[in-house]
Amino acid sequence: MSTDNTIDSERDLVLTRLIDAPPSAVYRCWTDPALMVKWFAPKPWSTPRATVDLRVGGATEVVMADEAGNEYPNPGQYLEVVPNKKLVFTDAYVGDWKPSGKPFFTCTLTFEDEGGKTRYTAVARHWTREDKEGHEKMGFHEGWGLCAAQLEEVAKGL
């Protein structure tokens, strides 16, 4: 998302859900590796491991695995960290501003309190329209929607 919070329909994919858990719990699910492995990949896929260096410039890597055990690492770097309110990360860097091989997107997550629940919004801003279209065809809405439901189940238990 740009600084004025406008959505770019050419490059952005957006998912919004009202999650039945407070923002602090939803944020924790995104920043605690022990919790991330419980919900991050859409089932029947799994998340064997996650690492988090939660600071601007800090690296993050979440590894997803398909049903056959093939692993798909997702390295990135945090650009903005506002506890319990906002996370921004990108795959353009892999930590401490080291460029990645091929940037794909930057993600802005917001966690807004709505009467003890969380208005959870994920904006995936892609580098190109083609990247956006590819992510959409890959199943962005379905996959991120399933993960949001899994995230809610974990967050409700905190």
pLDDT tens for each residue of 107-158: 999 999 999 999 999 999 999 999 999 999 999 999 999 999 999 999 999 9
**How confident is the model at residue 5, as a pLDDT?**
65
Number of domains forming the structure of the chain: 1
Say what the pLDDT of residue 1 is. Answer: 40
Instruction: Give pLDDT tens digits for 64-111.
Output: 999 999 999 999 999 999 999 999 999 999 999 999 999 999 999 999
Position 144: which residue type? W
Domain membership of residue 2 (yes or no) is no
- In angstroms, what CA-CA distances link 129 with 8, 118, 133? 10, 30, 6
What CATH number is attached to the domain comprising 119?
3.30.530.20
Is 4 among the domain residues? no
C-alpha 26, offset from chain centre? 11
Rounded distance, CA 102 to CA 113, Å?
A: 35
Q: Specify if 47 maps to a domain.
A: yes
Q: Which domain holds residue 123?
A: 12-156
